[in-house]
Amino acid sequence: MAEEKQEHTIDIDAANLMAAVEDVNQTIEKFLDTASVGKVYAEPIRVGDTVIIPSAEVVAGMGFGMGVGFGRKGEGSQESGGGSGGGGGGQVLSRPVAVIVATPEEVRIEHVYDRTKIALAALTAAGFMVGMVARMLRGR
C-alpha cells in the first residue's frame, strides 16, 4: 500500500512570531534577574547614624510552551488547515528573613520570626503524629 505524502504549510506572521520570541526572551532574562543580590537585599535605609538593610528570600518559577498543529478539515476532504499557539505562566514569592542593623558601634542581625508559618508547621506536625499514633493503636 502506497503511503500518501502531503505537505502542509501554515501562514505564520514572521513579525508577530519574532515579537513573541523577543517577549519570551525578555521575560526569561527578568526571571534570571531574581538570582541577583539586589533582589534579596533592599536599599539601605539611613536613620541618623544607623543603617538598616532588610533582606528576603525570593523564589521564582515560570514556564512557557508553544505548539503547532495541522490537519484535514474533514474525513476525505482535501482541504487542510492549521494553527499555532502558546502560553506561559509563573510566580514569584518573597518572604522577609532578617534585618541588618548597623550602627557606628556594632553590626547585628535581627532575624524575622514568622509566627504564623511556625504555628502552621507545629499544627501539621501534631496532626501527623496524632494520625500516625491513632493508626498504630488501631492496628494492634
Which residues contact another protein (rule: CB under 8 A)? 24-25, 28-29, 31-32, 34-41, 44, 49-51, 53, 55-65, 88, 90, 95, 97-98, 100, 102-105, 107-109, 111-114, 117-118, 121-122, 124-126, 128-129, 132-133, 136-137, 140
Question: 36 or 84, CB closer to another protein?
Answer: 36
| 8, 13, 19, 22: CA torsion to nearest 10 | 20
Question: 10 or 129, CB closer to another protein?
Answer: 129
Give the shortest CB-131-to-another protein separation in angstroms: 9
Give how far Cα 135 sits from Cα of 70, 94, 121, 132, Å.
54, 38, 21, 5
Give the shortest CB-18-to-another protein separation in angstroms: 14
Give the shortest CB-74-to-another protein separation in angstroms: 33
Number of Cβ within a 10 Å radius of residue 56: 16
Question: 73 or 121, CB closer to another protein?
Answer: 121
Helix (H) / strand (E) element for 29: namely helix 14-32
Give the shortest CB-12-to-another protein separation in angstroms: 18
Question: 72 or 126, CB closer to another protein?
Answer: 126
Please state the three-class secondary structure of 81-102 as a single string. EEEEEEEEEEEEEEEEEEEEEE
| 16, 33, 116, 130: CA torsion to nearest 10 | 80
